[in-house]
Chains A and B, each alone.
Chain A
């Protein structure tokens, strides 16, 4: 605790802690309601007197979700797409970040500015040309049409963020490695890579989330072959604006949210320090 917390008078601190807990409850409430509704029997969800608990939890909604077409397949598709994007973009970004931080060459600053500008490109606006690109290369209705653009859109931010981590590795280490006779690629993969790994984890959170959540590309590029669909599309099968199957939507939402939550919990600590490191630099 860095702040002079001693100076905060007791009643004030208690008030602050009470409000922190209250806010935590409010912020967590939508997630609680999602899980709760997923376990409620149909009659209790569609009741005009919603209760914040359920006396008769049931797995009906989950059964409906997994009984629908090929929900398990969509889940695997989503995992496959997000996993490939995370790994590929982390590796490519690591190499690129190394190039721009540990070498001096012409156009280096220009490139860095380009990476920054590339972050601002509204991905959604590119749906139209990407649609034609995927069509011309026969990639429509394939998972590749989701993987490739997401790698491209994750890269600029990942490179930008990894820069700080690569920079933080002392140059002396690199020189020592060479003096000891290590080759460039040996230094790169066996020394630099493990040291930068926490940064890679923090970065991959962003690429994982944006890919896992993607809704627009899936909606636009996977148009006829539903076996290539991903979770967001499957979820919306239950959500018909006029007559939504709330139980199904909430069960599907729960299934879709859990992997991200697990991922977050796993990387939580590194994320906070990673963000701190990235912005300080």
Chain B
């Protein structure tokens, strides 16, 4: 952040060269990211429904009307709460499983390590739509092997609100823990062996080594995987949409993302959908600011 020179000063070439290199990226990002974000904000202040889309009625400015309507709706708060709790549960479970397995990977010989690594990569590589349908089949009340193994008869996992969320959570953790596992494992491998041996010689327990030696050294990596997980899990869409069939019975499994989609594309309330999008954007922006502060405290130079 301090701007101390790390790269070579451009000795040759004019000061325009970096902008030349940046031009394609800036054009694409400007047109397809910045402009849509601006549009999103704009639509959220307008009256914009099917009538305006088809040109039947002129668009009119509504000010904070859409937000007032949104915040006055009990369903919005219920969905917001569900989103936060669900994302938090996903993040915590993913990190716990990922870190535990990363440590386990360092304790075993090559063959079991390879087996776990490959299984993890397989889960990671599975497309979200595919993963969702496979997990639905596994937990299917009639034909699924899980109910059969657990002796649950024809218990339906997607019927109850919490069991449906639990099912989606399991799928999300399944396909996102490998990223954490592989990254943290790569980080642990980079810790010098002498440090760990010294700690072990001093009689530190495994837990103590993890807490007092590894965790602080891995902090930058843990910050990265935590933030990535927060961002991904806060925005879960496909799993909820496919596994709970668009948000569950009477919308009991809606999260913000799916809620915005349903408002916009199912009931043509584009401005309300956009307002929900803006709320999501602001929440994630807050997360980003925390992330930037953490980076800065670590003294990372951008």
Q: Give chain A's interface residues, CB within 8 Å of chain B.
A: 1-5, 7-8, 12-13, 16-17, 19-21, 23-25, 27-31, 33-34, 37, 45-50, 52, 91-93, 95-96, 98-105, 108-109, 111-113, 116-130, 132-133, 148-149, 151-153, 155-156, 159, 167, 171, 174-175, 178, 184, 209, 212-213, 215-216, 220, 232, 235-236, 239, 241, 244, 246, 249-250, 253, 256-257, 260-261, 263-265, 268, 271-273, 275-276, 279-280
Contact = CB atoms under 8 A, between A and B. Distances in A.
A2 B105 CA distance: 11
A216 B128 CA distance: 11
Interface in B12-69: 12-13, 15, 17-19, 21-22, 24-26, 28-29, 31-33, 35-37, 39-40, 43
A122 B257 contact: yes
Given A155-B28, A236-B242, A212 B287 contact: no
B122 interface: yes
B37 A23 contact: no
A122 B122 CA distance: 26
Among B26, B127, B131, B257, find the residue whose CB has the most chain A CB atoms closer than 10 A.
B127
Nearest to B148: A50
B29 A235 contact: no
Given A33-B134, A121-B281, A103 B193 contact: no
A175 B113 contact: no
Q: Identify the 9 closest CB pairs spanning chains A and B, nearest first.
A: A125-B277, A276-B186, A129-B39, A152-B32, A99-B21, A96-B25, A103-B18, A99-B18, A20-B112
B264 interface: yes
A128 B277 CA distance: 9
Nearest to B241: A215
A213 B128 contact: yes
B10 interface: yes
Given A20-B104, A125-B40, A171 B8 contact: yes
A182 to B, nearest CB: 11
Contacts of A46: 142-143
A263 B24 CA distance: 27
Contacts of B22: 95-96, 99-100, 111
15 contacts: A2-B106, A12-B107, A16-B107, A47-B143, A99-B21, A117-B285, A122-B277, A153-B32, A178-B11, A216-B238, A246-B140, A257-B125, A265-B121, A272-B186, A275-B182
B265 interface: yes
A213 B36 contact: no
Contacts of B265: 127, 220
B260 A124 contact: yes
A99 B107 CA distance: 42
Contacts of B113: 20
B36 A133 contact: yes
Given A95-B25, A126-B36, A2 B193 contact: yes
B156 interface: no
Interface residues of B, number: 114
B72 interface: no
B127 A232 contact: yes
Contact of B145 (A21, A50, A119): A50
A217 to B, nearest CB: 11
A20 B115 contact: yes
Given A24-B112, A99-B21, A260-B127, A124 B257 contact: yes
Contacts of A29: 138
B189 A2 contact: yes
B221 A279 contact: yes
B180 to A, nearest CB: 11
B280 A215 contact: no
Nearest to B16: A105
B130 interface: yes
Contact of B108 (A20, A28, A45, A236): A20
Contact of B33 (A92, A121, A272): A121
B276 interface: yes
Contacts of A153: 32-33
A198 B43 CA distance: 42
Name which of B39, B116, B131, B285 has the most chain A CB atoms within 10 A of its CB.
B116
- Of B118, B126, B276, B284, which is in contact with the most chain A CB atoms at under 10 Å from its CB? B126
B72 to A, nearest CB: 21
B39 A124 contact: no
A31 B122 contact: yes
B192 to A, nearest CB: 7
Nearest to B142: A48
Contacts of B21: 95-96, 98-99, 103
B33 A250 contact: no
A212 to B, nearest CB: 6
Contact of A122 (B7, B107, B109, B284): B284
A5 B189 CA distance: 13
Contacts of B26: 96
Contacts of A215: 128-129, 237-238, 241-242
Nearest to A20: B112
Nearest to B1: A109
A152 B281 CA distance: 17
Given A128-B264, A149-B32, A241-B245, A1 B106 contact: yes
Contacts of A1: 106
